[in-house]
């Protein structure tokens, strides 16, 4: 069967069109409005502007700090309010109330109080009377504030009615409240850009206007996250604000002196520790450029090579379709930036193919997401986490990329060998009549050029953004190698729109992540959290790692994996540092653990997407994905106990390489341990292992993972003995059957 025939057969699988997949993806990524006319063109112009501005900044001339971060937040917020609906019917009156009172306060400040300071002074007087003389006195002093209150109520009612009319008349267009949120978001971000230098000078003595802008900016940031990512992530951000406000009332382990609302919102919005902090910087500097690159790469037809080449290499071997899924995911996942996107993009082809080869549906649905999360560890892109790691550690991204190659190789080796043992266990064979790898390479080699451009430029010292800029242009050039994929103005426009739209999913996290990180910085809870981990672990590193893994899993149930990494890194890396773990090793530990919510029940959205394509039970598929991805939980322990696999001691200045023999031996030990671990966890080497063989095997695997000559030699000899023993049992059984 040819590759083209296999692709047509996969496309025709009814499971691929399963409604369950649509529901899962809609839950993970809230549905866009189907915009038309003026608003569609407005969004297109904003998205084209985003791409052009950041390509110009990365490839031609960099922007100033405030423009670089501010424009990204501005365009992201604006697009979210135009493209994403307001959500549940019960919540829309509350949105109307926010905008109604925002307009009432703004209007009264201009018309009645000669500025926001006059309004705030009047409001402050009423608050003081309420505290000193009681409710009656305060109400009597309200005066013109009664008019502001009445105007706010009337505007709220008017906005609600206007939205109802708009929803009936223009169901696919933003309502009046959405437009006001769009304008307000633009105003508060433009204020931050315009006042950037002045804000740095008056830090700690912000004006009344600064406070009101910050207050509205925080509300808008929470609303952006709610629209795109749902309530769970938004409530975490609200919880951190309440934590800042009510610190004295917290349990002793988390208590702090507490802060006034003015101090909190100013710190979270105006400073570079908050909304416009590290997350905004990394997203605007690196991540969106690689998202754009991924969209152009897909449009250029390069994704076809990522399927065809693995299929020609591994398709004939035992369980070949599953091995194709693993290899294709390692290639595609590196640039997709999302385990779910990877699962859907490659799984639509590989999962039906695995089912036809003989894999049970829940196994086929589990192998793809298990392999897909490996793309988050595979250079050159590594999703967004690698760029965040570079920013937080101060280690150049090219170094992060290089030290991540071997751990990523170990992960895919583990999944690949587990798939092999699964196929052997159930007698699943490979495919036939496939083209040879050399024939595929001769025909499609040029499709790899964009990835080579990125790798070569970064290795030569150019920035990731600059590399992504030229690689994206390379995608357009590569597309002309096949008349079916040639990118003209229409295709380039479609790639721009797709890339810009894809940035909104992670861009919506920027405000709440800024709130969380800013709250941690403001309250100093990071140091207390470190003390808590060390205390609970009793100084035991293994227990500390288990606690951090559990924290990552729980947090990952409510926030995107990149956000989970950043939050846990800020909280837990200091604790690991105090326990003697190298900082880059600590970040790698947290980063690997942060991916577990994609494949570990009860959430495991990537596994649920695989289940929808396979038409299998989601819960069963999730646990099976966990089985194939168990190396995800082993690598953090290797980072902690064998830091030589990271090549250098990065805590030294300048970083000093470990002795070559130690690095080589750690690589050998980890590889041997990974192979043994795969066979151990699948309960199969040459045949199914008995309980006594499994215990013997477990000891051998532990010894293989321990990087000394004696332990490695002993472990490998034990595995060889078990292999010989199982081969002997097979021969004896075959001889008995012949007699």
Torsion angles phi and psi, residue 723, rounded to 5: -60, -45
For range 707-711, the mean pLDDT:
84
- Region of 87 (left: φ > 0; alpha: ψ -120 to 50; beta: rest) is left
Above 90 in pLDDT, residue 299?
A: no
The 10s digit of each residue's pLDDT in 432-451 is 778 888 888 888 888 889 88
- The band of 2, judged by pLDDT with boundaries at 50, 70 and 90, is very low
For range 547-564, the mean pLDDT:
81
- The band of 234, judged by pLDDT with boundaries at 50, 70 and 90, is very high
- The band of 47, judged by pLDDT with boundaries at 50, 70 and 90, is very high
- The band of 23, judged by pLDDT with boundaries at 50, 70 and 90, is low
- So what's the pLDDT on residue 739? 55
Residue predicted with more confidence, 600 or 296: 296
Please state at what angle helix 176-194 crosses helix 145-169, rounded to 10 degrees.
Answer: 120
Report the alpha-carbon distance of residue 676 to residue 634 in Å, rounded.
13
Which of these, 644, 646, 602, 652, lies nearest to 622 by C-alpha position?
A: 602
pLDDT > 70: what percent of the chain?
Answer: 94
Residue predicted with more confidence, 22 or 660: 660
Which residues is 684 bridged to in the sheet?
688
Residues near 154 by Cβ (< 8 Å), separated by ≥ 6? 100
Tell me: cis bond preceding 57? Omega within 30 of 0 counts.
no
The per-residue DSSP string of 565-630 comes to HHHHHHHHHHHHHHTT--HHHHHHHHHHHHTGGGTSTTT-HHHHHHHHHHT--HHHHHHHHHHHTT
pLDDT > 90: what percent of the chain?
Answer: 35
Q: How far is CA 677 from CA 317, 363, 410, 687, in A?
A: 21, 19, 11, 15
- So what's the pLDDT on residue 372? 87
- So what's the pLDDT on residue 25? 54
Torsion angles phi and psi, residue 656, rounded to 5: -110, 130
Least confident of 122-136, 537-551, 660-674: 122-136
Least confident of 4-13, 267-276, 402-411, 638-647: 4-13
- Select the highest-mean-pLDDT range: 217-221, 352-356, 392-396: 217-221
For range 525-533, the mean pLDDT:
81
- So what's the pLDDT on residue 533? 86
DSSP at 684:
B
Report the alpha-carbon distance of residue 207 to residue 202 in Å, rounded.
8
- So what's the pLDDT on residue 21? 56
- So what's the pLDDT on residue 16? 43
Residue predicted with more confidence, 30 or 10: 30
- So what's the pLDDT on residue 608? 83
The 10s digit of each residue's pLDDT in 618-627 is 888 888 998 8
- Region of 30 (left: φ > 0; alpha: ψ -120 to 50; beta: rest) is beta
Above 80 in pLDDT, residue 334?
A: no
- The band of 511, judged by pLDDT with boundaries at 50, 70 and 90, is very high
Pair 100, 159: CB distance under 8 Å: yes
The 10s digit of each residue's pLDDT in 479-500 is 998 888 899 999 999 999 988 9
Pair 445, 345: CB distance under 8 Å: no
The 10s digit of each residue's pLDDT in 557-584 is 767 788 888 888 888 898 999 899 999 9
Pair 215, 499: CB distance under 8 Å: no
Above 90 in pLDDT, residue 345?
A: no
Please state at what angle helix 288-299 crosses helix 37-59, rounded to 10 degrees.
Answer: 110
The 10s digit of each residue's pLDDT in 370-397 is 988 888 888 877 777 888 898 889 899 8
- So what's the pLDDT on residue 28? 52
The 10s digit of each residue's pLDDT in 682-700 is 989 888 889 998 999 899 9
Q: How far is CA 12 from CA 16, 230, 258, 324, 648, in A?
A: 8, 33, 60, 19, 50
Q: Where are the alpha helices (DSSP H) in 133-207?
A: 135-140, 145-169, 176-194, 196-201
- So what's the pLDDT on residue 72? 95
- The band of 31, judged by pLDDT with boundaries at 50, 70 and 90, is low
Per residue, what are the HEC states of 331-364?
A: HHHHHHCCHHHHHHHHHHHHHHHHHHHCCCHHHH
- Residue 390 tokens, joined: 């570079």
- Residue 138 tokens, joined: 């305060």
Above 80 in pLDDT, residue 336?
A: no
- Select the highest-mean-pLDDT range: 2-6, 28-32, 151-155, 661-665: 151-155
For range 115-131, the mean pLDDT:
85
* pTM (global) more than 0.95: no
- So what's the pLDDT on residue 17? 43
Residue 234: enclosing H or E segment and its boundaries? Answer: helix 231-245
- So what's the pLDDT on residue 175? 92
Residue predicted with more confidence, 43 or 349: 43
For range 463-484, the mean pLDDT:
89
Above 50 in pLDDT, residue 3?
A: no
Instruction: Classify each residue of 392-420 as buried b or exposed e, where b means 16 or more C-beta atoms within 10 Å of its C-beta.
Output: bbebebbbbbbbbebbbbbbbbbbbbbbb
Which of these, 54, 562, 548, lies nearest to 293 by C-alpha position?
A: 54
């Amino acid at each position: 069967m040819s590759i083209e025939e296999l692709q047509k057969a996969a496309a025709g699988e009814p499971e691929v069109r399963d409604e369950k997949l649509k529901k899962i993806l809609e839950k993970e990524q809230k549905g866009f409005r189907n915009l038309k006319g003026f608003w569609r063109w407005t969004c297109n112009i904003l998205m084209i502007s985003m791409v052009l501005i950041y390509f110009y900044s990365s490839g031609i001339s960099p922007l100033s700090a405030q423009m670089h971060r501010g424009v990204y937040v501005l365009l992201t917020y604006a697009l979210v309010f135009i493209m994403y609906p307001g959500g549940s019917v019960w919540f829309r009156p509350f949105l109307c109330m926010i905008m109604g009172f925002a307009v009432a306060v703004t209007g009264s400040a201009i018309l009645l109080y000669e500025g926001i300071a006059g309004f705030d002074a009047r409001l402050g007087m009423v608050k003081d009377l309420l505290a000193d003389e009681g409710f009656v006195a305060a109400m009597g002093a309200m005066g013109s504030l009664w008019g502001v209150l009445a105007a706010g109520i009337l505007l709220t009612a008017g906005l609600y009615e206007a939205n109802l009319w708009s929803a009936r008349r223009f169901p696919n267009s933003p309502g009046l409240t959405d437009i006001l949120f769009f304008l307000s978001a633009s105003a508060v971000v433009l204020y931050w850009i315009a006042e950037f230098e002045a804000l740095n000078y008056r830090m700690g003595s912000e004006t009344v206007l600064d406070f009101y802008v910050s207050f509205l900016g925080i509300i808008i940031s929470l609303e952006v996250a709610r629209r795109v990512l749902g309530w769970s992530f938004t409530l975490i951000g609200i919880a951190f604000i309440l934590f800042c406000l009510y610190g004295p009332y917290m349990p002793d382990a988390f208590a702090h002196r507490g802060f006034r609302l003015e101090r909190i919102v100013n710190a979270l919005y105006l400073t570079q520790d908050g909304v416009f902090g590290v997350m905004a910087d990394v997203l605007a500097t690196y991540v969106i450029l690689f998202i754009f690159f991924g969209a152009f790469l897909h449009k250029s037809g390069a994704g076809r090579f990522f399927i065809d080449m693995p299929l020609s290499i591994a398709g004939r071997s035992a369980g070949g379709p599953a091995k194709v899924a693993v290899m294709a995911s390692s290639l595609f996942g590196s640039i997709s930036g999302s385990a779910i996107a990877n699962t859907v993009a490659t799984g639509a082809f590989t999962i039906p193919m695995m089912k036809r080869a003989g894999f049970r549906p829940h196994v086929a649905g589990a192998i793809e997401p298990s392999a897909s999360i490996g793309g988050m560890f595979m250079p050159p892109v590594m999703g967004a986490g690698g760029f965040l790691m570079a920013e937080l550690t101060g280690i150049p991204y090219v170094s992060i990329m290089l030290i991540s190659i071997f751990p990523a190789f170990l992960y895919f080796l583990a999944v690949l060998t587990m798939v092999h043992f699964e196929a052997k266990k159930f007698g699943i064979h490979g495919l036939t009549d496939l083209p040879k790898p050399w024939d595929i390479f001769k025909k499609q080699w040029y499709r790899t050029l964009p990835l080579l451009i990125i790798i070569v430029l970064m290795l030569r010292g150019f920035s990731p953004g600059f590399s992504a800029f030229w690689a994206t242009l390379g995608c357009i050039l590569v597309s002309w190698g096949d008349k079916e994929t040639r990118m003209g103005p229409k295709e380039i426009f479609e790639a721009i729109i797709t890339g810009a739209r894809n940035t909104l999913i992670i861009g919506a996290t920027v405000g709440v992540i800024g709130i969380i990180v800013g709250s941690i910085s403001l309250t100093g809870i990071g140091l207390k959290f470190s003390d808590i981990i060390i205390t609970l672990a009793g100084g035991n590193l293994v227990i500390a790692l288990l606690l951090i893994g559990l924290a990552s899993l729980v947090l990952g149930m409510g926030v995107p994996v990149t956000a989970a990494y950043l939050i846990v890194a800020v909280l837990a890396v200091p604790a690991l540092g105090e326990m003697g773990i190298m900082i880059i090793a600590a970040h790698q530990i947290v980063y690997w653990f942060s991916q577990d919510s994609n494949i570990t029940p009860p959430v495991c959205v990537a596994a649920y997407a695989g289940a929808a394509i396979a038409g299998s039970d989601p819960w069963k598929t999730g646990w099976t994905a966990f089985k194939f991805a168990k190396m995800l939980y082993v690598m953090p322990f290797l980072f902690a106990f064998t830091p030589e696999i990271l090549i250098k001691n990065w805590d030294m200045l300048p970083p000093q390489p470990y002795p070559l023999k130690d690095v080589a031996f750690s690589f050998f030990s980890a590889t041997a341990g990974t192979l043994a671990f795969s066979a151990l966890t699948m309960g199969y080497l040459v045949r199914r292992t008995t309980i006594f063989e499994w215990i013997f095997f477990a000891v051998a695997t532990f010894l293989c993972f321990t990087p000394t000559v004696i332990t490695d030699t002993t472990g490998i000899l034990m595995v060889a003995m078990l292999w010989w023993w199982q081969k002997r049992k097979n021969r004896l059984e075959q001889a008995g059957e012949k007699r």
